[in-house]
Structure 1
Amino acid sequence: MLLLNREDITRCVELPKLVRALEDAHRGFARSAPVVPQRSIITHERQKAFSLFMPAYLPGNQTLGVKVSSFHPGNVMHGLSTVNGAVLLIDVETGRLLAMLDSGLLTALRTSAMSALATDKLCPQRRIRLAVVGAGVQAEAHIKAMAAIREVGQVKIFSRRPAHSAALAERLSIELMLPIEATHSMQEALFDADVVCTTTSHESPQPLIKAHQLNPRAHINAIGGSTVHACEIDPRLLGNAQVYVDHLRAACRESGEITQALAWSVIDVKDIREIGDLVIDQPSPVMHKDGLSYFRSVGHASQDMVVAACIYYMARAEQIGKQCDYLST
């Protein structure tokens, strides 16, 4: 079994390859649908946290695995990651474990790569002004992912923890050699942004972002909000936007913005399209859109397995990670 920790995954990952792997996978899902049982959720009331258990099998490339992921928002106060867990890849032929990968970083990579795929299809600008709401692991991953698929003219970061925003802006501006700044207000970050990525742990049905704060032609990647009641974006905005999700059934069950927009009849289920439609449409008609576009990611085990398999084969090719035969002795 190959063990891949955060450092190993960081060393072998190439973001453009992950984006293309997800695009190819979603195109293939139309021919050979993944087998994904509904994920199991265990809540931890005292910690205000939850754990997810997500198996998936991809017949197209014979990938089998399970992801275990726990979300503990209170970890921020202790300097710990809010998302922890592991992905196990299993050999379909023998049932033996092929690899165990850190799921915290894998989740950030999968989510940001899906946002990059949606942005690539829905945002016509080749040079973008980017706004990121939040300053955690997902915020960093999204800045890197957007820079991997677009020329980035400027990045503005806003979060409720100004010191975190400033530190992230300073570090990434050096690492990526981009003009990145922390802003003092949400409005300052959003008003001229071509692409907006919301990466918060927001838990309230009261939205963080209202219509008047946005560039009327912006593309929004909404990936934060930790409960079905949470709304990062005002659900009423969806009535004037092209609405895409990573998985329709899961989004209608787990996204606060989608469920509220449906409940208020702002949109109908038929107005929501899946990301797979974007990669199958050639050329995609949304490339000539006029107005808002919105992509809501709630995560799906099929995407986790695509990314896990991609990382596994990259790591094997580069001889990265640690082999462990402990379980077979």
Structure 2
Amino acid sequence: MLLLNSEDIERCINFPRLVQALEEAHRGFALASPVVPQRLIITHERQRAFSLFMPAFIPQSQTLGIKVSSFHPGNAERGLSSVNGAVLLMDIETGQLLAILDGATLTALRTSAMSALATDKLCPHERLNLAVIGAGTQAAAHIRAMTTIRELGWIKVFSRRFNQSVALAERLSNELSLPITAVRSMDEALADADIVCTTTSHDRAQPLIMAHQLKPSAHVNAIGGSSLLACEIDPAMLADAQVHVDHLGCARCESGEISQALALSIIGEKDIREMSALVADHSPPAMLKRGLSYFRSVGHASQDMVTATCIYALAKEKHIGMNCNYLST
């Protein structure tokens, strides 16, 4: 069994290869759905937190595994990641463990790669401006992911903690050799942004972003606000947007924007397109995107298994990670 911690996974990151793996997997999902039981959720009311247990089996690749993930928004005050857990990959022939991967790092990688895939399918091949709302692990992952699929002009970061935004902007400016700026207001971040990635721990029904704050042609990747009570984006905005989700069933039950837009008849399910349908359409972005577009990712265990398998293969190729024989005595 291979143990891959956060640093191991970061050494294995290859965004183009992962985005391609997710695209191929979703194209296959349109033909043969993965076996993914409804995720089990255990809430922790005192901590205002929750834990998720998500098994999945992908028939076409014979991939089997489970992800365990806990979301504790209060961890930011402790200097800890708000998302923690692990992904277990299993050998389909024997049931033995192939690998255990750090869940927080893999989650950030998977989510940002899914956003990159949606952006690549929907946004024009030209120099684009990026606004990232939030300054945590997902914000950093999304900035890195967006740089792999488009040439970027300016990049702006806004969060409630300005010092954290500054630190992220300075760190990634040096790492990526790109102009990244921390700004003090949402309006300043969104003005003239072509791509908007919302990566917050927002937990309220009052939206963070209203339609008038966005360019009419903007593309939004919404990945935070992970509950039915939370809306990062004004649900009314979806009436005038192309709406895409990673998985309709999950988005309907776990996205505040999608569930509220459906409940208020702002949109119908026929107006929502899943990622599998998007990747199956080989039309260029200029043909696919008209005006405002929105991609809501709530996560799906099948995507975690695709990501884990890709990272596991890269780790084996590069001899990264620690081998452990858990069956030995």
Q: Normalized against structure 1, the TM-score is what? A: 0.98
Aligned partner of residue 295 in structure 1, secondary structure? strand
How many angstroms apart in 1 are the aligned matches of 2:126 and 2:25? Answer: 24
Is structure 2 residue 205 aligned with structure 1 residue 205?
A: yes
Query: Which residue identity lines up with residue 126 of structure 2 in the other structure?
Result: R
Query: Which residue identity lines up with residue 84 of structure 1 in the other structure?
Result: N
Query: Which residue identity lines up with residue 4 of structure 2 in the other structure?
Result: L
Name 2:314's counterpart in structure 1: 314
| Mapping of residues 1-329 of structure 1, within 5 Å | 1-283=1-283, 287-329=287-329
Query: Which residue identity lines up with residue 129 of structure 1 in the other structure?
Result: N
How many angstroms apart in 2 are the aligned matches of 1:288 and 1:245? Answer: 15
Query: Which residue identity lines up with residue 214 of structure 2 in the other structure?
Result: L
**Contact 2:122 2:285 (C-alpha < 8 Å) held by counterparts:** no
**Contact 1:121 1:286 (C-alpha < 8 Å) held by counterparts:** no
How far 1:284 sits from its partner (Å)?
5.0
**Contact 2:3 2:324 (C-alpha < 8 Å) held by counterparts:** yes
How far 1:32 sits from its partner (Å)?
2.2
RMSD of the alignment, in Å?
Answer: 1.0
Mean CA deviation greater in 117-126 or 153-162: 117-126
Query: Which residue identity lines up with residue 197 of structure 1 in the other structure?
Result: C
Aligned partner of residue 325 in structure 1, secondary structure? coil
Structure 2 gaps of 5+ residues are none
How many angstroms apart in 2 are the aligned matches of 1:65 and 1:276? Answer: 21
Runs of 4+ displaced beyond 6 Å: none
How many angstroms apart in 2 are the aligned matches of 1:125 and 1:78? Answer: 41
How many angstroms apart in 2 are the aligned matches of 1:53 and 1:278? Answer: 27
Mean CA deviation greater in 3-12 or 27-36: 27-36
**Contact 1:124 1:287 (C-alpha < 8 Å) held by counterparts:** no
Instruction: Provide, for residues 126-173 of structure 1, a one-character-per-residue CA deviation record: whole Å limited to 9, x for no partner.
Output: 211000000000000000000011101110000000000000001100
**Contact 1:121 1:287 (C-alpha < 8 Å) held by counterparts:** no
Aligned partner of residue 327 in structure 1, secondary structure? coil
**Contact 1:89 1:97 (C-alpha < 8 Å) held by counterparts:** yes
Instruction: Provide, for residues 4-50 of structure 1, a one-character-per-residue CA deviation record: whole Å limited to 9, x for no partner.
Output: 00010011110111100000000111222100000000001111100
Structure 1 gaps of 5+ residues are none
**Contact 1:124 1:288 (C-alpha < 8 Å) held by counterparts:** no
**Contact 2:40 2:54 (C-alpha < 8 Å) held by counterparts:** yes
How many angstroms apart in 2 are the aligned matches of 1:69 and 1:284? Answer: 36
Question: CA separation of 1:271/1:284 partners in 2, compared to 1, >3 Å: closer, same or farther?
Answer: farther
Instruction: Provide, for residues 204-263 of structure 1, a one-character-per-residue CA deviation record: whole Å limited to 9, x for no partner.
Output: 000000111101100000000031110000000000000000000110111000011111
How many angstroms apart in 2 are the aligned matches of 1:74 and 1:124? Answer: 38
Aligned partner of residue 105 in structure 2, secondary structure? helix
Aligned partner of residue 130 in structure 1, secondary structure? strand
Mean CA deviation greater in 102-111 or 123-132: 123-132
Q: Normalized against structure 2, the TM-score is what? A: 0.98
How far 1:287 sits from its partner (Å)?
3.8
Identity of aligned pairs, percent?
Answer: 70
Question: CA separation of 1:36/1:286 partners in 2, compared to 1, >3 Å: closer, same or farther?
Answer: farther
Aligned partner of residue 326 in structure 1, secondary structure? coil
